[in-house]
Structure 1
Amino acid sequence: MWRIVCARNAGCRMSVTIRSADVADAEAIATVHTAGLQASYRPLIPDRIAHLVLDPPEVAPRVPGWRRCLERPRVSTTLVACDGSAVVGFCTLRSAPGVRAAGATGEIWALFVHPSHWRRGAGRLLCERSLADAGARGFTGVELWELESNETARQFFHSMGFRADGETRILLERAGCSLRELRYRRTTPPAAGSR
C-alpha cells in the first residue's frame, strides 16, 4: 500500500492511498469508470455515435464485468486510489494483446479518476505505481491507446513519459463519424533492487 498527501490546490487536502483492488471494489470501480467516461469522453464524441461508446450511462451494468476482471488477477491487475475508504480512481494493467508484444509489453487498459478528484495527484500516482508494477512483472515497456481528440489525456500521458509511436487504429466508424486512437509507449522503470 502506498500513500500520498496532496496539498497542491488551495483548499485541497486529500490523502490518497494506492492499493491492489479486490472483488469487493467492483461497484466502486464501475462508479468511477462510468463517471470518468461520461466526463472525459462525452464532450469529444459526436451525439449520433455517443451511445455506441459511452453506454451504459448507469453503473449497475458495468459491475459484473468488473467482478469478472477482478476475479482473474493473473490476466490483469487493477490498482485503486482511495481517499479515506472511498475509491476515487483505478488503473488496470495487462499484457499487451497480439503476437507482436510477445509478453514483454504491458498495456494500461484503463486509467480513470472520478471527476470530483481530478487534478489532485491520484491519476499520476496510479500511473507511477502501475509502471513500477509493470517492471516488477517483467514488462520492459508499457503501451496504451488514447483518443486522438482527447488532448487532456494525451498531455497527461506525455507528462508521464509516454510518447506517441505513430500507430493508429479506428475505435469506431459509424454514421459518418470516425474515432481514431493513437498508441503511446514508454519503457518501464527498473524493478526495485535491480539498479
Structure 2
Amino acid sequence: MKIAVIKYNSGNVQSVLYALERLGAHPILTDDPNEIKSADRVIFPGQGEASTAMGYLKARGLDQVIRDIKQPFLGVCLGLQLLCEHSEENDTECLGIFPVKVKKFIPENSQEFKVPHVGWNELENLKANPLLKDLPENPFVYYVHSYYAELSEATIATTHYIHDFTAILNRDNYWAIQAHPEKSSEVGEKLLSNFLSI
C-alpha cells in the first residue's frame, strides 16, 4: 500500500512517519502532486500557522490536488483545520472540504483553562464510523491546539475543553482528527490502523 504524507511547511511530520512505520507501513513524505494522486492513502498532518500553510499549498497547486482526492484522506491537527472553510487564525480561507469554521479558544476562566489546550482529553459522542471501530471505552487522546472546529453534521466525535468542540470529522472519503494520534498511545495507534484499513 502506497501512503503519501503531504509535505508542507509545518512541524510534527516526522512523528507521524514514525507512527506509521510502527504499524508496518512505508509512508513517503512528498509535495509532488503525482505522488499524492497515485497513493492508496493520503495523510495531511502538521502543526503551524494556517495562512502560511495555505500559502505553501496554493503556491504548489496542492490545494486543488487535495480537493480532488478520491482515495481515503486523513487530516491531523492543523490538517483538520485547513480542511475546513475558514480559520480565525489570521483570517484564513481554507480548503472548504468541510463547511465548518475554525475558531480560537476564548477561556472563560484563565486560571482554570489555558490556551493552547495541551494534554490528554477524552473522545466523546462517538458515532458509528470505520475510523472509530473497536476503540477502547472512554478513549483519551493528546491535544496541542489553540483553535478548534465548530460542531457540525460532519462531526463524528467531540471533546470538551472550555466547551464541546469537534474532535473528529468525516465527509465522504475525508477524515480529520484534531488530536495527535501519533502521540496518543494505543488509542492513536488504533485510529491510524483503522484509517489504513478503510
TM-score, with structure 2 as normaliser: 0.31
Larger Rg, first or second structure (1 or 2): 1
